[in-house]
Chains A and B, each alone.
Chain A
Amino acid sequence: MTVGLLDRRLLFVTGKGGVGKTTIAAALALLAAEQGRRTLVCEVDAKGDLAGSYESGDIAFEPRELHPGLFAMAMDTEASLREYLAVQLKLPRFTRLGGLAHTFDFLANAAPGVKEILTVGKLAWEVRERHYDLVVVDAPASGHVIGQLQAPQAINEMLSVGPIREQTGWVLELLTDAATTGVVVVAAPEEMPVTESLELVDRLAQTNIDLAAVVVNRVLPELFGRAEEQVFERLARPEPAAALAAAAGPSAVAVVDAARLAVTLRRTRAGHLARLREGLGPSRPVLYVPELFARSHGLRATRQVAGALDAELS
């Protein structure tokens, strides 16, 4: 890695639905804040999962400090437009709220990419103004993220003049500077998530936006070494099985069955992991986060993931 992952200024965390994208974004932000960076984490799909990761209660457009140095916000494109008009274009707040809402509704539906540019523009602005050392984005799932990241480019091409075009200029510059901006692709070691991650990495390579890292979530621990595995296999033979049932209780067979499922799952996942590594090539950084057998997905789990990421990064 030329630039340390958390030394960039803007990270878009994405991945196929269900792989734990929000958890990874939450953990990266928590880790960065604990290392002393003033960090903003932003949830783009306002689903409330980020609040769940921090057990923080509702997260709103106005950033709130959840832990020392860790600020969280939820994207709201209408609020972003209001802020943009007032703060950046310095337009008087002439619009009554109702009028603006209508106009916004119209614009967002009519002009493609408006919501996307308001999202990316707001985040890029926070970076440019140096309000934070690092902005971590819990970005849309892999199918949608490229559209969002390319919105400034698309708008730039569609508009020939005007202040918005001027704005997209610096946003584009910031997004395409690899020392500043990077995408973190979260994958799980399963068939479709690996396939989709590789597709996303390919599509990303066709843009000017840098892939910062691939995070593989939910890697199962290896249960047995080779010698142990042999003993485990032999436990299924009639005599040892009967002896085990006699020693540990008749239901010990269910315990052995469960371990067999775990071993098989791990083996299957190891295959996908190998495919991912091979598809990515040697130069792209890959971080591994183990499967957490956690009671629930709250702050405790987020801390555990942050710890795992910390170990991978150092």
Chain B
Amino acid sequence: MTPRDTGIPQLLAAKEIVVVCGAGGVGKTTTAAALATMAAVHLGGKVLVLTVDPARRLAGAMGLAGLGNEATRVPAEALAVSGAEPRGELWAAMLDTKRSWDDLVRRHAPDVRTRDAILSNPLYRNVTGKFVHSHDYIAMERLYELHASGTYDLIVVDTPPTRHALDFLAAPQRMADFFSSRLLRWLLAPYRSRLVNAASRPFYQLADRLLGSAFLRDIAEFFILFQSMYEGFIERAQAVERVLGDRRTTFVVVTTLEAAPADEATRFIAALADRRLHLGAVVLNKVLPVELLDPEATAAARALRSRPGELADELLADASVAEALLGAPSAEPADRTLVARVLAELGESFLNFQVVATREAEQRAELGVGAEVVTAVPSLETDVFDLSGLLRLGRQLWGGGAARR
């Protein structure tokens, strides 16, 4: 393995925004936190990790009581306690969807009356509070805002757990499309003028019958108010898209080597290419050790499984080995059975895990194409739940990431 200039450290040093994405449950949040922690410790500068996961998991991992919508600095002592000499600062923030939407309205509303009318509209409160789709747009919007503020040298973003990992990429465009859609104008027309044209009348009759006119009025009011912010929104959505496509932004795709997440990662990688977005690295998380595929180890495991009694006899024939294993120089028949059981179990377990490792190797071969950096993180023996854990994982990403094609 020769050193190259395309490892994880180089990627983090060269970029300003790292968007970490992948299917649910692959370790996205933890990977994002580990990347940010390593960047803050080793590269310096002000590094922010922005998590959009409503489960508030990152807070615990970073030793913070709770992450608000405002960025919080992870105390330097906390980083130092974990055995690291931090060169930079680590900040963390969580995305509060509701608050971010409110901020957005405050920023774009043409006047105080419109602002208050929107904020108190029942539909607005439902859209922003209860339903998850609003996550996608607001996450990208907030990222843009933070980046534009110029406060941070590097922002690592953990993406929302969308149904499809790509949803958030399309969110700014969807938002722009929606506000300029003919249907929206259609719906709003009767509330602007009393003339309902013949084409839309059946639609209103149907909608009225299904939903009741009070609800329709709420919807109309909501969108008429929202349209006053149209210009601002469109402009913003386009700016957000530009930032995602900027060369200072890169995407890191995280996946395990199980079938479903790996398929999603494959689709995601293709979609990034379609949109001409930069794929910085593919992180293969929780990968079993390659030794499980070693042919000689396999032969040994098969021997252990098929003739454990014989091998136990061989071991116990040597009195000093018997003493080391059993605490007594000579073995009883029961001891022999015990040792044989252990040996058989060793072989069985190895061959079991080998099945999984083989599956993983196949997935890996399918996935590895096209990415400049593919880094594998071994299945860690313990979980990551604190800063030292993040650093441990970070070192795996850092070192293991020494660019393998």
Could you list which residues of chain A lie within 8 angstroms of chain B, going by C-beta atoms? 16-19, 22, 45, 47, 49, 52, 89, 91, 94, 99, 102-103, 105-107, 109-113, 116, 140-141, 143-144, 147, 150, 154, 158-165, 190-193, 195-196, 199, 223-224, 227-228, 231-232, 234-235, 237, 239-240, 243-244, 246-252, 254-259, 261-262, 264-265, 268, 272, 293-297
Contact = CB atoms under 8 A, between A and B. Distances in A.
B314 A247 contact: yes
Nearest to B183: A106
B382 interface: yes
A18 B26 contact: yes
Given A231-B338, A261-B381, A294-B355, A18 B258 contact: yes
A19 B324 CA distance: 42
Contacts of B203: 99, 103
Nearest to B357: A258
A40 B40 CA distance: 52
A243 B301 CA distance: 15
Contacts of B297: 251-252, 254-255, 258
Nearest to A99: B203
B212 interface: yes
A261 B357 CA distance: 13
Interface string B253-276: 000101111001000000000000
B289 A258 contact: yes
A169 B190 CA distance: 30
A17 B161 contact: yes
Given A150-B130, A195-B57, A262-B353, A18 B256 contact: yes
B119 interface: no
B359 interface: yes
A295 B359 contact: yes
Interface in B156-200: 161, 163-164, 178, 181, 183-184, 186-187
Contact of A106 (B130, B184, B311, B315): B184
Contacts of A196: 55, 57
A239 B289 CA distance: 26
A243 B341 CA distance: 17
B163 A49 contact: no
Given A144-B132, A239-B321, A255-B350, A227 B211 contact: no
Contacts of B283: none
**A49, A105, A141: which has the most chain B beta carbons within 10 Å?**
A141
A164 B187 contact: no
Interface size range on B against A: 35 or more
A164 B214 CA distance: 13
B399 interface: no
Contacts of A52: 259-260
11 contacts: A17-B161, A45-B163, A150-B130, A159-B211, A160-B215, A191-B383, A234-B326, A239-B324, A258-B353, A259-B349, A295-B359
B131 A234 contact: no
Contact of B123 (A112, A190, A191): A112
A175 to B, nearest CB: 16
A256 to B, nearest CB: 6
Given A158-B122, A254-B294, A228 B211 contact: no
B318 interface: yes
> 4 closest pairs, A vs B, by CB?
A17-B24, A18-B25, A254-B297, A251-B296
B405 interface: no
Contact of A231 (B209, B301, B326): B326
B345 interface: yes
Contacts of A106: 181, 183-184, 186-187
Given A141-B24, A293-B352, A161 B212 contact: yes
A161 B211 CA distance: 7
B318 A243 contact: yes
Contact of B321 (A17, A195, A240): A240
B132 A147 contact: yes
Contacts of A45: 163
Contacts of A258: 289, 291-292, 297, 349-350, 353
A255 B321 contact: no
Nearest to B389: A191
B213 to A, nearest CB: 9
Nearest to A142: B55
Contacts of A47: 164, 260, 264
Interface in B204-229: 206-207, 209-212, 214-215, 218-219, 223
B301 A143 contact: no
A112 B131 contact: yes
Nearest to B314: A247
B219 A111 contact: yes
Interface string B295-317: 01101110110000001001100
B326 A160 contact: no
Contacts of A251: 294, 296-297, 299-300
Contacts of B3: none
Contact of B259 (A109, A161, A240, A297): A297
B339 A143 contact: no
Contact of B383 (A227, A254, A268, A294): A268
Given A163-B210, A191-B385, A240-B325, A147 B131 contact: yes
Contacts of A250: 296
A40 to B, nearest CB: 22
Contacts of A190: 383
A10 B186 CA distance: 39
Nearest to A22: B260
A293 B215 contact: no
B127 interface: yes
Contacts of A235: 325, 342
Contacts of A110: 184, 187, 219, 223
Interface in B323-346: 324-326, 338-339, 341-343, 345-346
B312 to A, nearest CB: 9
A112 B127 contact: yes
B25 A248 contact: no
A79 B164 CA distance: 20
Contact of B214 (A161, A244, A293): A161
A159 B304 contact: no
A220 B276 CA distance: 43
Contacts of B311: 244, 247-248
Contacts of A164: 210-212
B126 A224 contact: no
B23 interface: yes
B131 A257 contact: no
